C-alpha cells in the first residue's frame, strides 16, 4: 500500500510538470495577453511598461523556468487581470464548484442507482420502460437548454427559485458552504439538478445493465434458493457486486463535473472556478489557467487514488500495488 | 366558494407584493456583462471598471450622457497659455471618510497613477503630459505641459481622485478589500467579490445631492441568456447589453422597457498597407500572387467601401441596433464632420473603380474578424463577404476568438481586418491620430493603426489640430483632417453600435453613448 502510494506520487509529479509546460506553451501560442489587457490608446512606452510589469518581455523558456522555481516554493504567480495570487483566486471559487459538483453527484447517485436497480430488476414492466425512456431524455437534451428551461419555468413563470447566483453561506470547518441554509439550498437546487441530469441518466443505464447481468448469475440464484429475503439478495449480493464499475464511473465523472461544470456555472452565474477558467482563457490570464489546471489535475489524481483504494475494499481479489502479475 | 377563493388570492397578493416592495423600494440590482477586475481606480484602464468605479470615485472633469465634459471635482478649467492649464476645484466636498477634498489630493493621486505595481493597462498615459504641478491655493491648481496639450481636461477626466493618505500608501489589494476604497462619489463600497458582485450603499453627504437608491447591487452575469432571465424573473431591475435576439421580446412586453442610444464605438475595416508589393491573404482569383498591394490604391479602398451595403447590415444583422457610419464617431460628437455621409451601396460603381485601378476581374481575399468581441461580429464579416461577391471579388471569411485575433492583427498577419474602436474621450481628434496617422508609436502617432495607412497631408493636419488651443478653431481643423482621411478611405467605417439597456417596469434609464451602466442614471419612473 505504501509503495503504491509513493509510486503514484512520483508519477503524479511528473504529470503535473509536463502538463504545466504544455499549458504554458499553449497559451504562448494562442496570443499575447498585452493585446487584450492594455488600453488600445496606449503608446509604445506604456505597452513596453505593461509587458515588462507582467514579465512577458523575457523569452518563453525563461518565463517557464521562473514559473517552475517559484512554483517549487508554492507560488503559482499572480493573475495578470486581477493582480491577486492565482491560487487565491481559484481557492476562493473552488468551494462553490465543489459544492455544486458534490450536490449534483449525490443527486445522481441517490436517484440514479435505485432507479437503475428497479429498471434492471423489472425491465419489461411499464415502470422499467418509463425509467429508461427518461434516461434517454437526460442523455440527449443539451445542458444549456435544460438550464434555460429550468430558469424559465421555476424562476420566471412560477417564481419559486432564484435564477442565478449562490445563496447565503455559513462556515463549515473553515470552508464557506451554502447547503446548510435555506437560501443556499434554494439557489443550489436548479444548477445541481441541471448538472446532475446527465450523470443521473448515465448511472441509471449502468446500474440497469449490471443488474440485469448480475441477477442471472449463479450466486444470485443460489441466494434465492437458500431462501434469503429479496431485500438481502438485492441489497447485499447484487448491489455489492455491481458496484465496481459504478464506483469507477462515479469517480471519473466526479472529476469531470468539478473541472468542467462551466456551462451550468455560466447559465446560473454560479460563482465557481469553471467560469473562472473560461474567462481566464479568453483573457489569456496565463497564471490563472496554469494554476487552475494544476489544481484540477491534482484533484483527478486524488480521486483516482481513492477509487483504487475503494476497489480493494469492495473486491477482496484486488490488491493495491500488487506487481504480482508476473 | 369563488368569492372565498378570490378573497384568499387578494390576501395572498397583499401579503406578498407590498411587503416585498416596501422592503426593496430603495434597493436596486443591476446585471452587468463583464467582470470588474479591480476596485483600484488606477490599476486597469478598462471600460467596465471605469464605469463601476465612477459611483465611488470622481475625476476633476465628468461627462454627461453624450460624453460632453461637465464639471466634476473641478468647477472650471482654462488654458492660461499654450503650456499651462488652471483648474478651479470644488469647495465643500468631503471624502467618504470625512476628510475634505483639496488640491493636495489631486497632486498625490497623479503621483500614484504611474506607480501602481503590475498594472496591465496604466492610466499614466493621461497624466504623463504634465511636467510640473503647482498648488496656487487649496482650491486652485495649475499644470504645465512640455508641449501644447489640448486634451488635458479630457485626459484628466479619466483619472479618479483618491485622498492623499490613500494615494501615498494604499496597494491594489487595499482597494479590493474596501479599506482604501474611499472616494467622493455618490456611493460607498460595501463589498467587492471578483467575478461575482459589487455592492454599494448611498453616500448621504454627497455634494451633488441625494440619489434615489440606498443600496445598489451589481451582479456579473456574463452569459447573455442568464442576464435576460434575471431581468425577466425580477432578480435584477436592469441589465446592460440586451442581446439582439431578445430585443423584440422585451420591447413587446409591457412589464419591461428598453433604453438605447448610439454609442461611441465604431466597427470598421483596416486594409493592410504594410508593404507596397505584397499583402497577406490577397491573391489573384487563380491563387497567384498579385503584382502589387491593391490596398495601396485609393480607388481600390473606395471600391471596397462602396460594395458594402451598410443599411442591410444595420437593419437585418443588427436588428436596427446599429447606425451606418461615415467616420469614427456619430456626427453629434466634437470634431466630427457633417459633410461626411455614410458611403452609398453601389456594387456597379465599385466594379468600375476596380477596373480603373487595373482589377477588371477583381481579386480574391480572406476577410478576418473576431467572433466574440463585438455585437454580431462574425455575422458582419459573413455579410461583407457576400456583398463583395456581387462586386466581383472572391471573399472568404475566417473569424477567430479575440485572444488569438488581436495578437495576429497587430502583427499585420491579415489583409482585410474587421475591427472596432470606442472613443472614450468623446472627441474625434485623438481617435483619428490613433487609427489613421502614420504608425510611429514613439510619438504616440498611429498606435492602433493596424492597417499602416499613411498620408502625409493628413498627418500634418491632425498634428496641427491637436496643438491648437482654441476650441472652435481646433474643431474645424479636426473636421478637415477627418474629411481628408475618410475621402481617401484610410479605413472603411461600417457602423456605430447602438447600446441597449433593459429595465423592469417602474424604472427608467438614461442611455449613454459611452456604454457605461450607472446607478446614478437609473431613476424610478413617474
pLDDT for A320: 64
| Residue, of B10 and A201, whose pLDDT is higher | A201
| Nearest chain B CA: its distance from A245 CA (Å) | 37
Whether the pLDDT of residue A278 is over 50: the answer is yes
Residues 6+ apart with CB under 8 A from B455: B436, B438, B484, B485, B488, B490
Which chain A residues are Cβ-neighbours of B196 within 8 angstroms? 165, 271
- CB of B66 within 8 Å of any CB in chain A? no
Which of B45, B173, B225 comes nearest A84 by C-beta?
Answer: B173
Nearest to B138 by CA among B186, B179, B99, B188: B99
| Residue, of B377 and A254, whose pLDDT is higher | B377
- CB of B38 within 8 Å of any CB in chain A? yes
User: A171: how many CB neighbours lie within 10 A of its CB?
Assistant: 9
pLDDT for A260: 66
| Nearest chain B CA: its distance from A53 CA (Å) | 5
Q: Distance between CA B110 and CA B130 in Å, rounded?
A: 9
Chain segment A70-79, per-residue pLDDT in tens: 888 878 888 8
Give the helix/strand (H/E) hosting B504: strand B492-504
Burial of B174: CB neighbours in 10 Å, binned 0-12, 13-18, 19+: middle
Rounded average pLDDT per 10-residue block, chain B, 526 residues = 39 36 71 91 91 96 93 95 94 95 96 89 89 94 92 93 94 92 96 90 92 93 88 92 88 92 95 93 91 94 96 92 95 94 94 94 94 90 94 93 87 94 90 93 86 95 91 94 96 96 94 94 87
Strands (E), B44-164: 61-63, 69-71, 74-81, 84-89, 130-137, 140-145
Residues 6+ apart with CB under 8 A from B5: none
Give the distance, in angstroms, between the CA of residue A62 and the centroid of all CA atoms in the same chain: 33
CB contact under 8 A, A41 and B195: no
Residue with cell 488569438: B404
Chain segment A1-21, per-residue pLDDT in tens: 677 778 878 888 888 888 888
Query: Which residue on chain B is closest to A164 by alpha carbon?
Result: B230
CB contact under 8 A, B230 and A159: no
Q: What is the mean pLDDT of residues A39-62?
A: 82
Q: Distance between CA A298 and CA A49 in Å, rounded?
A: 35
Q: Distance between CA B58 and CA A181 in Å, rounded?
A: 39
A contact test, residue of B31, B116, B226 with most A CBs within 10 A: B226
CA–CA distance from A313 to each of A6, A244, A321, B223, B480 (Å)?
20, 10, 14, 44, 83
Identify the DSSP state of B291.
S
Q: What is the mean pLDDT of residues A140-150?
A: 86
CA–CA distance from A249 to each of A158, A215, A243 (Å)?
36, 21, 10
Q: Distance between CA A65 and CA A47 in Å, rounded?
A: 24
Which chain A residues are Cβ-neighbours of B410 within 8 angstroms? 32, 35
Residues 6+ apart with CB under 8 A from B60: B72, B73, B74, B77, B87, B89, B106, B153, B156, B157, B159, B161
Q: Distance between CA B206 and CA B204 in Å, rounded?
A: 6
- CB of B337 within 8 Å of any CB in chain A? no
Which chain B residues are Cβ-neighbours of A152 within 8 angstroms? 229, 232
Entry pTM: 0.83
Question: In this structure, are residues B186 and B202 in contact, taking their beta carbons and an 8 Å threshold?
Answer: yes
CA–CA distance from B281 to each of A246, B271, B371, B409 (Å)?
53, 11, 19, 12
Give the helix/strand (H/E) hosting B23: helix B2-24
Query: Which residue on chain B is closest to A150 by alpha carbon?
Result: B229
Which chain B residues are Cβ-neighbours of A156 within 8 angstroms? 229, 232-233
Residue with cell 470622481: B58
Question: In this structure, are residues B306 and B494 in contact, taking their beta carbons and an 8 Å threshold?
Answer: no
Tell me which range, A230-239, A313-322, B445-454, is most confidently predicted by mean pLDDT: B445-454
Q: Which residues share a beta bridge with B322?
A: B497
Radius of gyration of chain A (CA): 24
| Nearest chain A CA: its distance from B258 CA (Å) | 19
In SS3 terms, chain A reads as: CHHHHHHHHHHHHHHHHHHHHHHHHHHHHHCCHHHHHCCCCCCHHHHHHHHHHCCCCCCHHHHHHHHHHHHHCCCCCECCCCCCEHHHHHHHHHHHHHHHHHHHHHHHHHHHHHHHHHHHHCCCCHHHHHHHHHHHHHHHCCHHHHHHHHHHHHHHHCCCCCCCCCCCCEEECCEEECCCCHHHHHHHHHHHHHHHHHHHHHHHHHHHHHHHHHHCCHHHHHHHHCCCCHHHHHHHHHHHHHHHHHHHHHHHHHHHHHHCCHHHHHHCCCCCHHHHHHHHHHHCCHHHHHHHHHHHHHHHHHHHHHHHHHHHHHCCCCCCCCCCCC
Query: Which residue on chain A is closest to B421 by alpha carbon?
Result: A40
Indicate the angle between helix axes A239-259 and A86-121, nearest 10 degrees: 150
- CB of B456 within 8 Å of any CB in chain A? no
pLDDT grade for A240, boundaries at 50, 70 and 90: confident
Question: In this structure, are residues B218 and B198 in contact, taking their beta carbons and an 8 Å threshold?
Answer: yes
ipTM of the complex: 0.76
| Nearest chain A CA: its distance from B476 CA (Å) | 23
pLDDT for B118: 84
Which of B196, B407, B442 comes nearest A32 by C-beta?
Answer: B407
| Nearest chain B CA: its distance from A274 CA (Å) | 12
Identify the DSSP state of B453.
-
- CB of B448 within 8 Å of any CB in chain A? yes
Cα end-to-end span (Å), chain B: 39
Which of A31, A50, A275 comes nearest B119 by C-beta?
Answer: A50
Give the helix/strand (H/E) hosting B482: helix B471-487
Burial of B147: CB neighbours in 10 Å, binned 0-12, 13-18, 19+: exposed
Q: Distance between CA B274 and CA B295 in Å, rounded?
A: 10
Q: Distance between CA A324 and CA A306 in Å, rounded?
A: 21
Give the distance, in angstroms, between the CA of residue B238 and the centroid of all CA atoms in the same chain: 20
Indicate the angle between helix axes B402-410 and A273-283, nearest 10 degrees: 20
Which chain B residues are Cβ-neighbours of A169 within 8 angstroms? none
CB contact under 8 A, A42 and B121: yes
Q: Distance between CA B33 and CA B48 in Å, rounded?
A: 9
Which residues 123-142 of B have a C-beta within 8 angstroms of A? 124-125
Which chain B residues are Cβ-neighbours of A43 within 8 angstroms? 125, 441-442, 444, 447
CA–CA distance from B364 to each of A113, B27, B47, B399 (Å)?
60, 57, 37, 17
Grid coordinates standing for A211? 443488474
Query: Which residue on chain B is closest to A161 by alpha carbon?
Result: B233
Which of A39, A165, A269 comes nearest B45 by C-beta?
Answer: A39
Q: Distance between CA A89 and CA A71 in Å, rounded?
A: 16
- CB of B501 within 8 Å of any CB in chain A? no
CB contact under 8 A, B35 and A44: no
A contact test, residue of B403, B439, B443, B448 with most A CBs within 10 A: B403
CA–CA distance from B132 to each of A97, B60, B107 (Å)?
52, 17, 10
Query: Which residue on chain B is closest to A153 by alpha carbon?
Result: B233
CB contact under 8 A, B406 and A31: yes
| Nearest chain B CA: its distance from A286 CA (Å) | 12
| Nearest chain A CA: its distance from B298 CA (Å) | 26
Question: In this structure, are residues A202 and A254 in contact, taking their beta carbons and an 8 Å threshold?
Answer: no
Query: Which residue on chain A is closest to B371 by alpha carbon?
Result: A282
User: B286: how many CB neighbours lie within 10 A of its CB?
Assistant: 7
CB contact under 8 A, B43 and A83: yes
Q: Rounded to the nearest 5°, which phi and psi values hold at B298? A: -60, -30
Question: In this structure, are residues A97 and A274 in contact, taking their beta carbons and an 8 Å threshold?
Answer: yes
Q: Which residues share a beta bridge with B219?
A: B31, B197
Which residues 227-286 of B have a C-beta within 8 angstroms of A? 229-230, 232-235
Amino acid at each position: 500500500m505504501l509503495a503504491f502510494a509513493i509510486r503514484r506520487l512520483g508519477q503524479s509529479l511528473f504529470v503535473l510538470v509536463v502538463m504545466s509546460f504544455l499549458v504554458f506553451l499553449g497559451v504562448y501560442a494562442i496570443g499575447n495577453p498585452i493585446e487584450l489587457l492594455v488600453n488600445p490608446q496606449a503608446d509604445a512606452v506604456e505597452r513596453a511598461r505593461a509587458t515588462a510589469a507582467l514579465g512577458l518581455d523575457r523569452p518563453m523558456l525563461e518565463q517557464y523556468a521562473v514559473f517552475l522555481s517559484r512554483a517549487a516554493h508554492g507560488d503559482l504567480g499572480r493573475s495578470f487581470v486581477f493582480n491577486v495570487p492565482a491560487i487565491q483566486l481559484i481557492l476562493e471559487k473552488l468551494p462553490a464548484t465543489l459544492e455544486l459538483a458534490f450536490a449534483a453527484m449525490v443527486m445522481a447517485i441517490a436517484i440514479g442507482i435505485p432507479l437503475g436497480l428497479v429498471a434492471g430488476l423489472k425491465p419489461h414492466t411499464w415502470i422499467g420502460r418509463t425509467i429508461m425512456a427518461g434516461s434517454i431524455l437526460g442523455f440527449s437534451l443539451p445542458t444549456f437548454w435544460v438550464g434555460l428551461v429550468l430558469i424559465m419555468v421555476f424562476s420566471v413563470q412560477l417564481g419559486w427559485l432564484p435564477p442565478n447566483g449562490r445563496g447565503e453561506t455559513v462556515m463549515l470547518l473553515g470552508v464557506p458552504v451554502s447547503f446548510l441554509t435555506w437560501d443556499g439550498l434554494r439557489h443550489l437546487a436548479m444548477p445541481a439538478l441541471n448538472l446532475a441530469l446527465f450523470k443521473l441518466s448515465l448511472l441509471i443505464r449502468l446500474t440497469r445493465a449490471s443488474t440485469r447481468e448480475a441477477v442471472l448469475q449463479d450466486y444470485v440464484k443460489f441466494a434465492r434458493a437458500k431462501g434469503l429475503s429479496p431485500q438481502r439478495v438485492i441489497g447485499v449480493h447484487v448491489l455489492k457486486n455491481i458496484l465496481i464499475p459504478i464506483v469507477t464511473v462515479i469517480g471519473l465523472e466526479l472529476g469531470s463535473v468539478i473541472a468542467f461544470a462551466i456551462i451550468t456555472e455560466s447559465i446560473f452565474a454560479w460563482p465557481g472556478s469553471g467560469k473562472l477558467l473560461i474567462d481566464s482563457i479568453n483573457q489569456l490570464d496565463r497564471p490563472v489557467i496554469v494554476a487552475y489546471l494544476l489544481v484540477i489535475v491534482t484533484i483527478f489524481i486524488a480521486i483516482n487514488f481513492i477509487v483504487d483504494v475503494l476497489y480493494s475494499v469492495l473486491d477482496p481479489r484486488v490488491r493495491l500495488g500488487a506487481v504480482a502479475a508476473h | 366558494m369563488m368569492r372565498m377563493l378570490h378573497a384568499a388570492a387578494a390576501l395572498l397578493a397583499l401579503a406578498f407584493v407590498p411587503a416585498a416592495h416596501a422592503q426593496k423600494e430603495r434597493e436596486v440590482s443591476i446585471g452587468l456583462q463583464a467582470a470588474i477586475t479591480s476596485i483600484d481606480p488606477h490599476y486597469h484602464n478598462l471600460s467596465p471598471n471605469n464605469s463601476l468605479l465612477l459611483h465611488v470615485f470622481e475625476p476633476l472633469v465628468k461627462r454627461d450622457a453624450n460624453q460632453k465634459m461637465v464639471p466634476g471635482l473641478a468647477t472650471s478649467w482654462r488654458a492660461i497659455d499654450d503650456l499651462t492649464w488652471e483648474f478651479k476645484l470644488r469647495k465643500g466636498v468631503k471624502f467618504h471618510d470625512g476628510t475634505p477634498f483639496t488640491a493636495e489630493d489631486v497632486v498625490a493621486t497623479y503621483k500614484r497613477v504611474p506607480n501602481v505595481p503590475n498594472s496591465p493597462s496604466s492610466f499614466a498615459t493621461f497624466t504623463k503630459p504634465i511636467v510640473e504641478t503647482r498648488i496656487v491655493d487649496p482650491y486652485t491648481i495649475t499644470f504645465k505641459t512640455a508641449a501644447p496639450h489640448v486634451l488635458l481636461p479630457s485626459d484628466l477626466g479619466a483619472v479618479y481622485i483618491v485622498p492623499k493618505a490613500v494615494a501615498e500608501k494604499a496597494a491594489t489589494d487595499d482597494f479590493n478589500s474596501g479599506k482604501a476604497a474611499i472616494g467622493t462619489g455618490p456611493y460607498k463600497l460595501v463589498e467587492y467579490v471578483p467575478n461575482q458582485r459589487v455592492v454599494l450603499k448611498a453616500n448621504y453627504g454627497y455634494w451633488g445631492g441625494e440619489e434615489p437608491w440606498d443600496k445598489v447591487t451589481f451582479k456579473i452575469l456574463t452569459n447573455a441568456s442568464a442576464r435576460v432571465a434575471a431581468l425577466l424573473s425580477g432578480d435584477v431591475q436592469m441589465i446592460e447589453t440586451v442581446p439582439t435576439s431578445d430585443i423584440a421580446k422585451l420591447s413587446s412586453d409591457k412589464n419591461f422597457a428598453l433604453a438605447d442610444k448610439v454609442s461611441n464605438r465604431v466597427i470598421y475595416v483596416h486594409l493592410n498597407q504594410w508593404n507596397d508589393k505584397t499583402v497577406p491573404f490577397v491573391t489573384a482569383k487563380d491563387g497567384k500572387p498579385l503584382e502589387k498591394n491593391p490596398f495601396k490604391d485609393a480607388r481600390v479602398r473606395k471600391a471596397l467601401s462602396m460594395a458594402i451595403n451598410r443599411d442591410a447590415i444595420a437593419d437585418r444583422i443588427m436588428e436596427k441596433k446599429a447606425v451606418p457610419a461615415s467616420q469614427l464617431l456619430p456626427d453629434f460628437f466634437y470634431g466630427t464632420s457633417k459633410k461626411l455621409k455614410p458611403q452609398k451601396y453601389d456594387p456597379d460603381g465599385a466594379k468600375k473603380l476596380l477596373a480603373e485601378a487595373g482589377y477588371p476581374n477583381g481579386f480574391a481575399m480572406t476577410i478576418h474578424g473576431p467572433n466574440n468581441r463585438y455585437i454580431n461580429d462574425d455575422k458582419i464579416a459573413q455579410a461583407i463577404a457576400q456583398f463583395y461577391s456581387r462586386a466581383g471579388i472572391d471573399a472568404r471569411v475566417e473569424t477567430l476568438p479575440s485572444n488569438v485575433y488581436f495578437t495576429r492583427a497587430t502583427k499585420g498577419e491579415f489583409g482585410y481586418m474587421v475591427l472596432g474602436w470606442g472613443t472614450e474621450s468623446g472627441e474625434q481628434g485623438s481617435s483619428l491620430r490613433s487609427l489613421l496617422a502614420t504608425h510611429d508609436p514613439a510619438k504616440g502617432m498611429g498606435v492602433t493603426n493596424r492597417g499602416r495607412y499613411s498620408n502625409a497631408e493628413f498627418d500634418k493636419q491632425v498634428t496641427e489640430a491637436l496643438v491648437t488651443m482654441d476650441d472652435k478653431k481646433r474643431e474645424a481643423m479636426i473636421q478637415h483632417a477627418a474629411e481628408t482621411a475618410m475621402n481617401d478611405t484610410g479605413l472603411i467605417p461600417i457602423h456605430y453600435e447602438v447600446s441597449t439597456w433593459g429595465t423592469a417596469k417602474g424604472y427608467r434609464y438614461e442611455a449613454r453613448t459611452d456604454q457605461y451602466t450607472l446607478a446614478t442614471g437609473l431613476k424610478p419612473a413617474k
